[in-house]
Chain A
């Protein structure tokens, strides 16, 4: 099937033994890690993540260009070429999705009166803005990036001010923030409409930005009213919308020929898997934060984690059938249960509970990797997958440690790295899943006519 790089890993006779050895190694590694202090563990993982993220992150400084050069010729000979439409759209989706989560967390931290958490969320949102600006720079140059940064940072400040007004029951502060957000919606819409060279109307751009802002304001309203299920439901809608907005914007900002790549099934599959797997990370971390403080918003956060699990399972079911979905969900649920068992161990200062959770996670990683290997007919090498899943779990546990220690900046950096790790993994999964399904699709167009009304059909 065009578009898929089908990779087949030969089975070996000692594969099961190798898996067993890997399982043992994983568990031993985990036990060693657990023996270290939480901070040491976290720092070790973060060092690894920062190195890994630097290789793939769009936060890497974009090559600077002379502002005086024409846009079409601004890229220096040695500079990296701008990302393809497919890559740019994925990058923007991932960053916008993370932005929506960070903005909501910032607002919620302010509503809880948790200054340290709010400050860390604001710093993370600023890093996210810089990453988006780098992407804008790579596509449209530094002048556009500077304009975008000013607008985008302004709307984050206005969102924070709105939450502050909510927390203090200050209607004037809320109204002032809302008025600034309305100006932002119009200005940013004009920015995108202008950059699209007429492919995106001001009206359509403003509708997209308006919905983004409305989701954030409404989730804050619900959170302030202690309606946590509604707050989380709207927050998830906002996150999903941010992915749709990323595709809409990039589709309009590039040429129609480039935008066609965004309709290819493998791109859509990768985008959807990125959304779901990235959301898994941010929802788990949000629920860990609520669980560690035994906050009143934990139940709703846990429900959101489960809703995401149901969506992921339904996705697996539609591609691989009900038995595979059931197996997937069993393994995935085990994985999440142990993450929260570890979190419980932190809350209750129970080292044994934490160690037991880590040991069980080691079993999950190997089993889950083997499941995916089998489901995709060896298109996903289980060794690589087990390592990726091990890293995923270590990252989540490190964030639990950091949140427990109220090291919020480290937790936010770790969340972003974990989120990126999963959205990158989604690319590999999309390739393998798509190729597996493609290998069993019907051949050719169906023969659904016998010619008895051919004269009418031909002229119909």
Chain B
């Protein structure tokens, strides 16, 4: 003989099961008592909001097959005068660390020299890139992200489009920047910049 309380419980469970069958309750619906209240903890009670998000690695290598670029990446910051630092080695490109990492939302910026004092440097052929060309960036964790060139522009240095190059858009993108145009020997500087815009493939 079942105790009274247990019998009440069994009847309640059977009634709930029967009610579920009659009303065509969807699978996963909580058991309900005869009064209609849910007796099992509802799934929503176990909800916990996520406390993590994708960790995009620091970029360590850049490859641009169309212009035979395959280079390590050095971290770049800003100089005291507010200008961006440039790679110390003309044969190595650099990633601007105060912006997004390649693959994070927003434009990641990578700089490289077009030439040294003696000859061509790592980004010598950058201006030859065309829309659709592939750019890959290796992360410190061994992962690789591929970008596709969307456009290539040449702009005067004194009208450099800071907003288009650096400002956040939340769309993972890449900007490759080097020098171009004519060389001002008095100022020891090229007059223009070449900017390659690329989106995550």
Contact = CB atoms under 8 A, between A and B. Distances in A.
A and B pair up: yes
Interface of A: 1-3, 112-113, 226, 264-266, 268-269, 272-273, 276, 287-288, 290-296, 298-299, 302, 305-306, 309-311, 313-315, 317-319, 325, 329-330, 332-334, 336-337, 340, 343-344, 347-349, 433-434, 437-438, 440-454, 456-458, 460
A348 B38 CA distance: 7
A347 B183 contact: no
B24 A113 contact: yes
Contacts, number: 244
Contact of A442 (B24, B83, B156, B171): B83
Given A268-B171, A318-B168, A306 B49 contact: yes
B71 to A, nearest CB: 13
A147 B34 CA distance: 53
A447 B38 contact: no
A295 B28 CA distance: 6
Contacts of A292: 44
B90 A450 contact: yes
Contacts of B178: 448-449
Interface stretch (B2-10, B11-19, B141-149, B186-194): B186-194
A446 B115 contact: no
Given A269-B169, A344-B44, A448-B111, A309 B50 contact: yes
Contacts of B162: 1, 438, 441-444
Interface residues of B, number: 80
A438 B86 contact: no
Q: Which 10 A-B pairs have the closest CB atoms?
A: A291-B44, A449-B179, A445-B160, A333-B49, A454-B183, A296-B28, A265-B167, A442-B84, A272-B170, A445-B157
B84 A446 contact: yes
Given A295-B29, A448-B123, A452-B117, A264 B42 contact: no
Contact of A314 (B42, B51, B53, B86): B53
A443 B183 contact: no
Given A451-B115, A454-B115, 17 more contacts: A265-B167, A268-B170, A290-B44, A291-B44, A295-B29, A306-B50, A310-B53, A314-B105, A337-B49, A344-B44, A442-B84, A449-B178, A453-B119, A454-B183, A454-B190, A457-B179, A458-B182
B115 to A, nearest CB: 4
B106 A319 contact: yes
B167 A448 contact: no
A305 B169 contact: no
14 contacts: A268-B171, A290-B44, A313-B53, A348-B42, A437-B168, A440-B98, A445-B160, A446-B86, A448-B190, A449-B113, A450-B188, A453-B114, A457-B190, A460-B128
Contacts of A294: 28-30, 38, 42-44
B169 A268 contact: yes
Interface string B22-39: 001011111000000110
Given A292-B44, A295-B29, A269 B170 contact: yes
A311 B106 CA distance: 12
Interface of B: 24, 26-30, 37-38, 41-45, 47-54, 56, 78, 81-84, 86-87, 90, 96, 98, 100-101, 104-106, 111-121, 123-125, 127-128, 155-158, 160, 162-164, 166-171, 177-183, 185, 188-190, 192-193
B168 A449 contact: no
Nearest to B24: A113
Which of B42, B96, B156, B164 has the most C-beta atoms of chain A within 10 angstroms of its own C-beta?
Answer: B42
A358 to B, nearest CB: 17
Nearest to A1: B163
Contacts of B27: 226, 296
Nearest to A113: B24
B98 to A, nearest CB: 7
A298 B118 CA distance: 65
B99 to A, nearest CB: 8
A438 B169 CA distance: 12
Contacts of A306: 49-50
B164 A265 contact: yes
A265 B168 contact: yes
Nearest to A350: B45
A177 B14 CA distance: 42
Given A451-B117, A458-B183, A443 B83 contact: yes
Nearest to A320: B168
Contacts of A1: 162-163, 167
B53 A449 contact: no
B171 A314 contact: no
B174 to A, nearest CB: 13
Contacts of B118: 452
A450 B125 CA distance: 15
A245 to B, nearest CB: 16
A296 B26 contact: yes
Given A294-B30, A460-B127, A450 B167 contact: no
